[in-house]
Amino acid sequence: MSQIFHPSTNTFSKASIFGAVFFLAGLAGVWAIFIRSSYVTGVNVVREQPIPFSHDHHVNELGIECRYCHYQVEDASFAGIPATEICMQCHRQIWADSPMLEPVRESFRTGQPITWNRVYDLPDFTYFDHSIHVQKGIGCATCHGRVDRMPLTAKAVTLHMEWCLECHRQPERFIRPPEHVFDMEWQPPADQIAIGRELVRQHGIIVGQLDDCTLCHR
C-alpha cells in the first residue's frame, strides 16, 4: 500500500498541535494580564472632573470626616455624591470668589447638580449595598484605598468578582471594629484573624452564604 503522506508530516502535525496549545495558553495569559491592567480596570487612573476636588486637602489637611459629605453612607445602598449645598456650607465663606469654584456657585444658584464622573461604577447586573458593608465593619479604605491621600480621586481596586470573593470567603481578614470603620490610618493588628472571627460572630455573618451567586446577582 502506498503511503499518501510523507513521514515528516507526523512531525509537522505534532509540532502544529503543541504550537497551537502553547499559542492558546499564551493568548489566555495575555488576556488575563490585559483585563487586570489599569487600562481596563481604571485602577490608579484619575477621572477628569468638572472641579479638581482634593480629598487629600479636605480629609487629610482639614480633617473633614467621610460622613460629613457622604452622610448617607451608613443607611443607604448608595454612598451618594454630596449635594452642592454641602459644598456651599463652607464655600460661602471660604474661597467664596475662587474662579475654580464657579461651577459650584452656578450649581447652587441654578439648582442644577454638578455632573461628576463616577470613579466606581459596578455593572448593572451586580447588586451592591453600601450600608451593609459599613454596618458590618468594612472600612472605607478597604475598598477605596487611602482616599485621604489622593489629591485627585482614582480607583484603588479592580472590583473584579475575584476581588470581592476574597473578602466574602475570608471576612475575618478585613473586618474591623465599628469605631475604626472611618479611620483611614487603621491597620490590622497582629491578632487580626482572631479578632476578625469574633467580629464576624458578633455581627451574625454567615460566611458560608457570602459566596452564594444570588447574593450579588439577583
Burial 93-109 (b: 16+ CB within 10 A, else e): eeeeeeeebebbbebbe
Segments forming the whole domain that contains residue 158: 55-61+70-80+121-216
Residues 151 and 210 in one domain: yes
Residues 129 and 180 in one domain: yes
pLDDT digits (tens, 9 = 90+) for 52-86: 999 999 999 999 999 999 999 999 998 888 999 99
**Residue 155: strand pairing partners:** 43
Residue 86 lies in a domain: no
Residue 143 lies in a domain: yes
Residues 76 and 164 in one domain: yes
Cell numbers 486637602 label which residue?
57
pLDDT digits (tens, 9 = 90+) for 165-193: 999 999 999 999 999 999 999 999 999 99
Residues 14 and 74 in one domain: no
Q: What total number of domains does the chain contain?
A: 2
What pLDDT score was predicted for residue 40? 83
Q: Tell which residue, 186, 188, 185, 187, has the closest CA to residue 60.
A: 185
**H or E element in which residue 44 lies:** none
Q: What is the DSSP letter of 73?
A: T
Residue 174 lies in a domain: yes
Cβ partners under 8 Å of residue 112, min gap 6 = 106
